Structure 1
Amino acid sequence: MFEYAFDFLLVAVLVIGITALMGVITNGIGETIFSGKKKNENVEHTLKTQAGWRKVGGRRS
């Protein structure tokens, strides 16, 4: 019975781990291959939107 439980847990961990890593790996490959020149388009747009905003919160040094 111990062998069955061990095999079951091992397969479960491998399936869950491989499934979780597949999404991260696929996203990384997709960003490098298909992003082209628009890789930082969203970041640049956000920075243009926030230009001139006051800093709020935190401690003054």
Structure 2
Amino acid sequence: MVGYVIDLSIVAILVIGITALIGVLTNGIGVTFFGGKKRTEFTDKSAGIQSGWKLVGGKKK
């Protein structure tokens, strides 16, 4: 019974790990090849909105 649980755990970890890895790789390929000119649209908009904000917390430079 212990062997079954260990085998099931190994298979579950491999399935979840491979699925997560494929998701990350597919997303990276999609953004790289199909992102087009609007690849950084949301990060640019966010940076534009946050420009001029006071920095809060952390160490002062």
Q: Scaled by the length of structure 1, what TM-score is found?
A: 0.69
Matches of residues 30-49 of structure 1 in structure 2 within 5 Å? 30-49=30-49
| Counterpart residue identity of residue 15, structure 1 | V
**Share of identical aligned residues, percent?**
52
How many residue pairs end up in the alignment? 61
Comparing 11-20 with 22-31, greater Cα deviation is found at: 11-20
SS in 1 for 2:58: coil
Larger Rg: 1
- Aligned equivalents of 1:31 and 1:22: distance in 2? 14
- Aligned equivalents of 1:6 and 1:57: distance in 2? 46
- Aligned equivalents of 2:55 and 2:2: distance in 1? 59
Q: Scaled by the length of structure 2, what TM-score is found?
A: 0.69
Gaps in structure 2 of 5+ consecutive residues: none
Gaps in structure 1 of 5+ consecutive residues: none
Runs (4 or more) in structure 1 with deviation over 6 Å come to: none
